[in-house]
Structure 1
Amino acid sequence: MARKINIKGVIIPNSYKWFYDWFEEDSTCPNDVEKVLNEANGEDIETYINSPGGIIDVGSEIYTMLRFYKGDVKQKIVGEACSAASVIAMARYCEMSPTALMMVHCVSSGVRGNHSDMEHMAEVLRTADEALASAYMAKTGMSKEEVLDMMEHETWLTAEQAKEKGLIDAIMFEDKTEPVPLVASTFSLPTQSQMEKVKRMIKEQTAKSESALLMAKLNFLKLKGDLKDE
């Protein structure tokens, strides 16, 4: 059985973890992930992502841990994977619930100072954007320009849209859809569920028929006198 890692709530540094735990707020820090990976020691891992994002360098650290892990990792976006959480989702094979959302955008920060400070921070943010873009590029094969444009416009994606862009590998539950055979005629084939329903009805009817036949045989034996009621 695969080891489970919940990547839920805000992505935070290790030093913030006690604070979120105290208020019983969902959060994920690198130590949470590292602990499970070390205990798993190469066993299969499944991550369950539902996070609005958080501190970007923490997201990068968790992304790197998962990429570096020697065992098999399957990620599942079950709610939302926004900002730093979407970067984590790029680390390995990833599925997304049909009702989930993904959001990618540019890095943001706050700064005070003169125009030189502002210009410097703008350059830092542009550099950070390019660093994050590499995770999306590696996953999708998209160009840097395409990824940066997607980030610039704070792009929200459904599971279908994320799959089309190559940001995820599959949509959860889609392989359970009944196959639809190709036909060249004017009639409709029954679905698999319809056939299963009829099959159950036949079995139930057969069981009833066998029971009725047995009762008829017993009554016949009684009439012959071969079988007597006690």
Structure 2
Amino acid sequence: MKVDVKGAIINSGDKWIYDWFGIEATCPKDVNNLLEKANGQDVDVYINSGGGDIFAGSEIYSSLREYKGRVNIHVVGLAASAASVIACAGKSEISPTAMVMVHNVSGGNQGDYQSMDKTSEILQKANKSIAAAYIAKTGMSEKEALDMMDKETWLTAQQAVDKGLIDTVAFESNQLVASYESGLLPKEVIEKMRNSKNNPLGENQADILLQQKAQAKLKLLNLGGAKI
């Protein structure tokens, strides 16, 4: 099941307004409906969002965390602000051209100094609630998370992985390289050759040929002359 987190992250009650204007947005109700339909099957969450309402983002994050099936997160553009919280909700990968941004919660108010002091207190507590998602994902301390937010930190794909906010950079796989470097051909290649009815070679000759090809491939790899 594919779940898109695209555009602004908004509360469910405002979604019809964005739909009426034809503006892409994501609300908790949309995500929850898709998770209900998925009914425990794997879900793939694709994120390209500059963020939005922190409480809507928190609800989506919580729904993904408690979903009974596997949640695969794919950051394909930008995961900023509340969207960066959602990106911490499951096993994740990021496109090498994508970015992650974390910053402090912001809001507006008017009134006397007591009202402003209260607003500051609420915003600081909101920062700590957001930081909890980064702490749970990375194991960093609360101070490290809050410092990162204070600086409005923009991260490239690799930097996001280095920070532990994202698990891997997409499209980078060393599976075949590791297989050849271990001296073994992939199992599916072996089975295909052994079971091929059209193979004109006898089983012993096929084994010799495979061994020779593997050795040649290893030699090229050691010399830096082959790419897999």
**Partner of 2:49 in structure 1?**
51
Structural RMSD (CA): 2.1
Residues of 2 paired with 1:38 and 1:80: CA distance?
A: 26
TM-score, normalised relative to structure 1: 0.78
**Partner of 1:215 in structure 2?**
none
Q: Is the 8 A contact 1:140 1:166 kept in 2?
A: yes
Q: Which protein has the larger Cα radius of gyration, Structure 1 or Structure 2?
A: 1
Structure 1 residue corresponding to 2:107, chosen from 106, 109, 128: 109
- Segments of structure 2 that go 5 or more residues without pairing to the other structure are 183-217
Identical columns (%): 50
Q: How many angstroms does 1:189 deviate by? A: 3.8
**Partner of 2:62 in structure 1?**
64
What one-letter code is carried by the residue in structure 2 that aligns with 1:99? T
- Residue 97 in 1 paired to residue 132 in 2? no
Residues of 2 paired with 1:116 and 1:52: CA distance?
A: 32
What one-letter code is carried by the residue in structure 2 that aligns with 1:97? S
Q: How many residues align?
A: 190
Residues of 1 paired with 2:147 and 2:53: CA distance?
A: 21
**Partner of 2:201 in structure 1?**
none
- Structure 1: which 4+ aligned runs deviate by more than 2 Å? 176-184, 187-190
Residues of 2 paired with 1:35 and 1:24: CA distance?
A: 20
The DSSP-based 3-state class of the residue aligned with 1:179 is helix
What are the Cα deviations for residues 23-46 of structure 1, in whole angstroms up to 9, with x where unaligned? 111100011101110011100000
Structure 1 residue corresponding to 2:125, chosen from 124, 127, 131: 127
What one-letter code is carried by the residue in structure 2 that aligns with 1:7? V
- Segments of structure 1 that go 5 or more residues without pairing to the other structure are 194-230
Residues of 1 paired with 2:138 and 2:91: CA distance?
A: 12
Q: How many angstroms does 1:192 deviate by? A: 3.7
What one-letter code is carried by the residue in structure 2 that aligns with 1:89? A
- Residue 140 in 1 paired to residue 138 in 2? yes
The DSSP-based 3-state class of the residue aligned with 1:80 is strand
- Residue 188 in 1 paired to residue 223 in 2? yes
